[in-house]
Each structure stands twice: as C-alpha cells, then as structure tokens.
Structure 1
Amino acid sequence: MSAPAIELAGVTKSFGATRIINGVDLAVAPGERHAIIGPNGAGKSTLFNLISGRLSPSDGTIRLDGEDITGQPPSRIVARGLARSFQVTNIFPKLSVWENVRCAVLRAMGYRPSFWRSVERLPGVAERTAQILERIRLGHRAATPAGMLAYADQRALEIGITIAGDAGVILLDEPMAGMSHSESAHALALIRDVTRGRTLLMVEHDMAVVFGLADRISVLVYGRIIATDTPDRIRENRAVQEAYLGTVAA
C-alpha cells in the first residue's frame, strides 16, 4: 500500500501563548481531492503554511509521499513535488500572461537567470508554456498584461503558474474567493481538469464547490479536525452542522 501523499501527525502551531493548530492528524491519499473547511479563524491558512513550509510546526510531523518535510523551506518542498496557490492573487501584473507562465516554467525546468542565453531559444520552454496556457484556456490572451485580465482569469492564471512544475500535490487556498456563481462554475471545471491524476488539498468557503469536487472533507474548528469523511457523511454529521455548516447542511 502506497504512503499518503500528505500526512500530518500530531501537528501543532503556537504563536507565543496562543495555540492556532492543536494536534492535527490528517492523511490524504495519492490522487485524492480533499477539502478543508471551517469557520474563519479556524487555522486553515496556517495549516496550509505549515504543509508548504512557510511556517514550521511547534510540534508534530509532516510527510510528503512518505518523506519527512517537517520544517523544510518552501523551495525544498516544491522540489519534492508540492505546489500551492494563495488567497490573494499572486501574479506579475505588468508581465504578459505568456511571460507569467514562462517564468514558472523556467524555474520548474531548472533554468536560472543568465545574461548569455536567449530565453526564446531554451529547449522545451515555449512548448510547455503554450501547453499550460491552453490547459487553463488563456491561450488567446497570451499577449495581454496579466493585470488587465478579469479577476476570474487572473485566478486561472495563478492555477496555471501553480501547475507549471507538474507537481503531483497541489494546494489551493480559496481558489473561488471573490468570484460570481458563473465564474465559480468555470473555475470548478478548470480545477477538476488540471488536478486529474494529481493530489489536491483545497481550502474553500463555497460549499457548492466543496461538495461537488472533494472526495473527502475535513472540518477544522479552533485548530482541531473534528471530522473527516465523504461529502454525504459530512453533510449529515450533527457535530459538523453545529460547529460550522448550520443551515447549509439542511
């Protein structure tokens, strides 16, 4: 049996005397789409920052594909096959859509800044960039400055940047934040497509998206996971209803 793609054991995180993450155990299977939900202030983004290396846990262990990554820097974790997006759109607004994705491709392919090589001649870069733009349905906007895109297209571009390294594990932090219903539907189809065959761990407040996409859901309340189960069972879980879902569960 293969190791979990992501595994947390007894993970805690304190800031001074305040404990934000309180003994989290979590296992996400390879190829699973897993959502973390919970009220504001539950610690969801802190948990993402711990997994991706932006923060180090106060205690506990984090493993990626069976390898201990506890406290490792983000660059090393990315090299091991994990990529993430953020709540706030994280793009280069003055660069074109093409240039944004190409920057991510260059890094993923191991190229570093050089005054002696033309980026246009680097083998495989243009092809990979074009493939990603078509995958995120922005090929027709390749020359557009990223800052001129509609908000939903900027989020799609960030997803393209996230998958540029062909990581096996993707973390998406509130990918639907600020979107209309129609934009969310488009983004949902995009996420379902680009994460096919990958492991997805997602934080999201849009319950229609969560219940429509996730194979399993974990509910985080006050830094503790109070339930992990299939969407149907989470919907029916009385403790979850009382702690978070409320009328949504009905």
Structure 2
Amino acid sequence: MTVSPNSVPALELSGLEKSFGPMKIIRGIDLDIPSGERHAVIGPNGAGKSTLFHLISGHYRPSGGTVKLHGDDITGLQPELIARRGLSRSFQVTNIFPQLSVWENVRCATLWAMGYKYSFWRNVESLTDARERTEQILTEINMLDRWNMPAGVLAYAEQRALEIGLAIASNADTILLDEPMAGMSHGETEHMVGLIRQVSENRTLLMIEHDMSVVFDLADRISVLVYGEVIASDTPERIKANPAVQQAYLGTEVV
C-alpha cells in the first residue's frame, strides 16, 4: 500500500467517546486510517470494538468527539446517510434477505446504489446497467454459479461472502467488516482471506477480527483496543513485539 503523506485520511476519529449512563465504553479515541489501507482492530472481549464500529457507521451517536469520512464530518448522521457517502459495513450476525435469491440480494443493493427508487411500474429485468453490475459483483465474490439459489440455504461461509458482495454493491470505498471469519473452518477462513484481499483492492478496509493469523496476514496496520482506549497502533511486526500488547491481549506465545 502506498499512501501520500498529504492525502486526506479515509477515516479520521478525533476524541471519540461513548458512554451509556455512567459507564464510559469508548474513551477518547484518536485514529487516522489512510485511504487504501487495510486496518485491523483487535482487543479482548468487552474492549469496545463493536461499539466503535457502531459509532463510525452511525448506529450509535457519540457522546463526544468527531468522525470524518474523507474529510467530511459524519458525526451523528444516520447510517443510511453515511452509506450514501461511501461507507458500508457488515455485522457479526449475517445480514441478508434469506428468502431472496443470491442474484436478488445483490441486485437490491445495486439498484439502491444506482439511484433506482421503488416503483410499481418499472420492470427491473429491463435495467441493463443494474443487471451488468449485479453480474460483475457476483463474479467478484465468486458466486455467479449460485445466482439462483435462495440466500438462506447457502453455507455459512457463502452467506458471509454474499454479505461482502452487498457491501461493495453499494459502491462503498470504505468497508467495515465485523469478525468476518467468526464460525468458519480453516479452509473457509483461507477462502475468505483471499476474497477480502481481492475486494479490498483500491478500497479502505477496517476490520474487527479475533483470528490473529488472519489479522497479521491481511492488515497493513493494527490498532489494539483495551477498555475503550487504543493502547497501540502500528504495523503487524511492531504490534507483535509490543510488550504492552502482549500483556493486554496477544500473550507471550506470539513472537
């Protein structure tokens, strides 16, 4: 990854805070993520990782601080407005339309991204540009041969791949993935790593992941979140060697 030192970060978090009553979950996070970077957030359970994603994507309103996307302040905007500005995310629980086919799932996201609104009298089958874009995305996520299958009968790993397809169908240039490898076998994980590497080309990726082999394989930089604070943000090699990180999360067995 090559990043211009003068370029505006894809994501810029400044003094970001979130409290629920007297409990402070996110405690003043400052973090810049350059455009085109693959960035992983790791930390023990309860560190605030998913809360951080909720703040960035608009599902939670910050108690303090700001979130900027490509230099534009998106703090407190609704999730759909943030999505229209080029940020898309997945969740820990797969978020698809199980009764629709794989094709219909992706086409729904494609239609919205291309500006087509709901209409009784429009035949979506006649929309050549939407059809071509849907086929392109299914090819990109290696699911064109599953196009006519109901999404709900796909294998778990395929459903997660479809969810990534929905994210890129929105024309997002910044993608947030929340534990994309959770519940996968070793073989499924290897396939997903390859898919994520492929679809994140020319995009910015922010990922929460517990599988350290995946994190060290994919990430350009890693931020370690502990009790709502970033205690380190650096390259994988330096994170591995950081004594504070080893004590807080990775353990002495990581060398």
Shorter-chain TM-score category? over 0.9
- Please tell me whether residue 187 in structure 1 is matched to residue 160 in structure 2: no
Deviation of 1:76 after TM superposition, in Å, equals: 1.1
**Superposition map of 1:51-62 within 5 A:** 51-62=56-67
Q: Pick which of 226-235 and 103-112 moved more.
A: 103-112
Distance, in Å, in 2 between the alignment partners of 1:129 and 1:107 is 12
| Partner residue, 1:200 | 205
The amino acid across from 2:42 in the alignment is: I
Distance, in Å, in 2 between the alignment partners of 1:27 and 1:192 is 21
> Which of 18, 39, 45 in structure 2 is aligned with 1:40?
45
| Partner residue, 1:123 | 128
Describe the shift of the 1:98–1:134 C-alpha distance in structure 2 as closer, same or farther (beyond 3 A): same
User: Residue 95 of structure 1: SS of its match in structure 2?
Assistant: coil
User: Residue 50 of structure 1: SS of its match in structure 2?
Assistant: helix
- Please tell me whether residue 8 in structure 1 is matched to residue 13 in structure 2: yes
Structure 1 stretches of 4+ moved >6 Å = none
Deviation of 1:123 after TM superposition, in Å, equals: 3.5
Distance, in Å, in 2 between the alignment partners of 1:102 and 1:173 is 23
User: Residue 128 of structure 2: SS of its match in structure 1?
Assistant: coil
| Partner residue, 2:73 | 68
- Please tell me whether residue 112 in structure 1 is matched to residue 84 in structure 2: no
Structure 1 runs not aligned, ≥5 long: none
> How far does the alpha carbon of each residue in 1:131-158 deviate from its partner, in whole angstroms, 9 at most, with x for none?
0001111100100011111110000000
Distance, in Å, in 2 between the alignment partners of 1:73 and 1:130 is 30
Distance, in Å, in 2 between the alignment partners of 1:235 and 1:66 is 31
Number of equivalenced pairs: 250
| Partner residue, 1:211 | 216
> Which of 90, 96, 105 in structure 2 is aligned with 1:91?
96
The amino acid across from 1:221 in the alignment is: V
Distance, in Å, in 1 between the alignment partners of 2:231 and 2:25 is 15
Identity across the alignment (%): 66
Distance, in Å, in 2 between the alignment partners of 1:97 and 1:197 is 25
The TM-score with structure 2 as length reference comes to: 0.97
- Please tell me whether residue 25 in structure 1 is matched to residue 45 in structure 2: no
> How far does the alpha carbon of each residue in 1:54-91 deviate from its partner, in whole angstroms, 9 at most, with x for none?
11100001100011111011111111111111110001
Distance, in Å, in 1 between the alignment partners of 2:177 and 2:152 is 21
> Which of 175, 182, 185 in structure 2 is aligned with 1:177?
182
Deviation of 1:247 after TM superposition, in Å, equals: 4.0
Describe the shift of the 1:185–1:248 C-alpha distance in structure 2 as closer, same or farther (beyond 3 A): farther
> How far does the alpha carbon of each residue in 1:110-136 deviate from its partner, in whole angstroms, 9 at most, with x for none?
111101110101230110000000111
Distance, in Å, in 2 between the alignment partners of 1:72 and 1:93 is 28
Deviation of 1:32 after TM superposition, in Å, equals: 0.4
Alignment root-mean-square deviation, CA? 0.7
> Which of 173, 181, 196 in structure 2 is aligned with 1:168?
173
Distance, in Å, in 1 between the alignment partners of 2:59 and 2:169 is 20
Distance, in Å, in 2 between the alignment partners of 1:82 and 1:126 is 23
User: Residue 241 of structure 1: SS of its match in structure 2?
Assistant: helix
| Partner residue, 2:228 | 223
The amino acid across from 1:46 in the alignment is: T
The TM-score with structure 1 as length reference comes to: 0.99
